[in-house]
Amino acid sequence: MPNSFFKSIFLISINLIGLTGCAQPANTPQVPRQYEFGTTPVWQDEFDYSGKPDVKKWSYDLGGDGWGNNELQNYTDKQENAHVENGKLIIEAIKEQSGKNKYSSARLVSLGKGDFRYGKFEIKAKLPTGRGTWPAIWMLASNNTYGNKGWPDNGEIDIMEHVGFDQNNIHGNIHTKAFNHSIGTNKGNNTIINTASTEFHIYTCEWTPDYVALSADGNEYFRFNKEPVYQWQQWPFDKSFHLLLNMAVGGNWGGQKGVDDSIFPQKMEVDYVRVYPLIEKK
């Protein structure tokens, strides 16, 4: 037989070996990680004392320069604006001359005293009411690691936001360099709580390496999943964050329909803040 025949047989045999005996096994599908949260808080404030907020747990952001949102209040560390009484933290916005501003209020932060990487965050609160109020329960990165070393590159998690002109509509959002309202790519959702300003409700954030989930009274209404292709621009939520509790007056969002001066003073009351540890199931 001609040599070309034997050459063809040889090549066919090599190809068959490559398709069978040397074939690589298919990739085993990756099993999604499963998480749970501890039942004992690793950090908490039950507000079972009186006077100014616990200095071992809270500091203050101070000033009245608008805070990037054209807000109208001056944040102080005065007891009139933030104090504990009857087992509740009271953050109070008052219509008064404060610095160069017409309103005073408070913004408490746990930075350096309560910094967390993942966990379950529960805050039980009753919200103020009235046009111009803008209370928030939220989180910011404790260190500037990514991008331009500021907002929104290092991330923000809004556990609860409420604007008084849209009563009982509770908002939850995340902000990153890729996803934020300033460029029209915001990620978030909202839910209605008919008694947001007359009763206490529990606002919760579950934060894991794979998702951030927000709920109100145990009802999840927003979830942001980390996709495999995400880099820090989409997901900066792998560093430590701290808590913030504040009530703004007016601003780009809170003041969209003006401020009703007749409603003040207004209070956000907080019954407790509890942080539970993340536990990855094996």
**CA gap 134, 83 in Å, rounded:** 19
Beta strand 73-75 with 101-105: parallel, antiparallel or unpaired? Answer: parallel
Read off the DSSP letter of residue 182: G
Cα-based angle 107, 118, 68 (whole degrees, multiple of 5): 30
Distance of CA 47 to the CA centre of its chain: 22
Read off the DSSP letter of residue 263: G
Q: What residues act catalytically?
A: 156, 161
* Closest C-alpha to 256, from 68, 98, 66, 69: 69
Does residue 108 contact residue 246 with C-beta atoms inside 8 Å?
yes
Residue type, 243: L
